[in-house]
Amino acid sequence: MIILISLGIEGTAEKTGVGIVDSDGNILAMAGKQLFPEEGGIHPRIAAEHHAHWIPKLIPQAIEESGLSYEDIDLVSFSQGPGLGPALRIVATSARTLALSLNKPIIGVNHCIGHVEVGKLDTGAVNPVSLYVSGGNSQVIAYESGRYRIFGETLDIAVGNCLDHFGRETGLGHPGGPVIEKLAKQGSYIDLPYIVKGMDFSFSGLLSAALREAEKGTPMEDICFSLQETAFSMLVEVTERALSHTQKDEVMLCGGVSANSRLREMLKTMSEEHGAKFYMPEMKLCGDNGVMIAWLGLLMCKEFGPMDLADTGIIQKFRTDEVDIPWIDNSKSYLKLSDDLIAKGAESNIVKSHYLGEPAVLKDRVPKGYRIPEIDNKIRKSRCKLEAKLLSDAKRAGVVTPVLYDVNLEDKSILMEEIDGIIVKDIIDEDLAFRIGREISKLHSADIIHGDITTSNIMLRDDQLVFIDFGLGRHSPLDEDKAVDLLVLKKSLQSIDYNLAVKYFDLVLKGYNNDKVASHIADIESRGRYTH
């Protein structure tokens, strides 16, 4: 078999990288430089100047390290996006110049997918749920129906941005993550907002609250400990939710924030609690680097061939789920449940039970080993209490939910009717999609936010749609929150069948029949949270 060699150029933000990889996955060279701003965050123009200065130096350095000649290079790969516009343009121009001067083919690739693929190459993971966290991106990614799907992401700023911003504003320096991690080891917990909305998370409110604590003079060690524990618990919970929904048995951590040992510990603990294997690539491959671009370039070129120069323009908002991925084996090895469990969700264990001789289920919010007790107890108790109320409120709104038998706040458990039905995920069609939209409209008209409307949390019983698992629910009159609720369902539909998802979701919106809320969905999707 012919071995091909790819040279990759990375420069989506503050790191400049050049890597050389062969088609057997051997890393032949890895060179890079990082920009450290004197003050403030990463300025796009300064990042671009940094890349323009270093790329011409790093290319010959990588060639020398590899022991190859320029003629040995078979493919020039580059980060096409997402990222900072000026920085991406320098990278694309450099790649085009190199490809033209060597008369070699060229290909642009998605930066986020590069992180996942190089992680799989390094760890041997086959088909994981990946938590990708960096200064500019925070996403929970898993392969379904021919593409990498974004199961959860930030609704505002990335976690790395959150930590860096806190570091800059409080004088801890940039990047903030390493200093925060060090100070957190001497801290104690203070209450900070924990914001998970369905499959997404939000860090701006957490950052503002942490900065207010700093202004009040709260010990910096306590703020750092609480900021880190809260932010990482949110990330791991959403990863756990994606793992529960997809039933995959592998979890992988990648991206620059992977350097944090506490985040690694938490994700590993969660994986073990679900019987899933935990992977993390070598640290030098977690941050932005040229190797991941070179490797993804080879994978893409093998399937689709090289690009025409006319197609090598940058894509500043390049979504992870916009790329066809035909090379992945999607034969799943599913998580195995113990005999006493009906289901092991992200929120709870569902156990068979009885009530007055009738079949029932006990939703047991078991302690999460990855969360500190202060956060874990607060979340489990508040969600248990609120879910019980929401089940009753939803019934009053005309939506069918399980009959509530008992609530035990001390054990954080709910005893309820067992629904003998079929999960909508397995039977979704056009009629059901329309009907689901009508039922969600009833909830939202009563200002009830389900919080986790996936096709796994709706069942069909005797031609009745039954909504279950209000564990992330709350009350809100805001159209924004209702739109986020619907977006959870949209992502869930995409994970079943991407081609039909658009049709099904259009029918959901038709049944929902509220253009004002629907317009917020496009607004949320168009925000800059998807890029650096």
b/e sequence 190-221, b meaning 16+ C-beta within 10 Å: bebebbbbbbbbbbbebbebbbebbeeeeebb
Q: Angle 41-58-32 (CA atoms, 0-180°, nearest 5)? A: 45
Distance between CA 41 and CA 417 in Å, rounded? 53
The residue written with tokens 């997404």 in the block is: 200
Let me know: does 79 contact 315? Beta carbons within 8 Å. Answer: no
Task: Give the three-class secondary structure for 185.
Answer: coil
Q: Hey, what amino acid is at 414? A: I
- Using only C-alpha atoms, the chain has a radius of gyration, in whole angstroms, of 24
Nearest one of 33, 20, 111, 117 to 63, comparing CA atoms? 20
> Would residue 351 be called left, alpha or beta, if left means φ above 0 and alpha means ψ between -120 and 50 degrees?
beta
Specify which residues 135 forms β-bridges with: none
452 is catalytic: yes
* 499, HSE (Cβ side, Cα atoms, 13 Å): 3
Question: For 339, which DSSP code?
Answer: T
Question: For 370, which DSSP code?
Answer: T
* 62, HSE (Cβ side, Cα atoms, 13 Å): 32
Q: Which of 156, 452, 469, 481 is catalytic?
A: 452
Nearest one of 114, 116, 108 to 151, comparing CA atoms? 116
Give the containing element (helix H, strand E) for 464.
Answer: strand 464-467
The residue written with tokens 């910096």 in the block is: 220
String of DSSP letters for 159-174: HHHHHHHHHHHTT--S
Rounded to whole angstroms, what are the CA distances from 351 to 300, 304, 341, 404, 471? 45, 48, 5, 15, 16
Give the containing element (helix H, strand E) for 349.
Answer: strand 349-355
Active site residues: 452
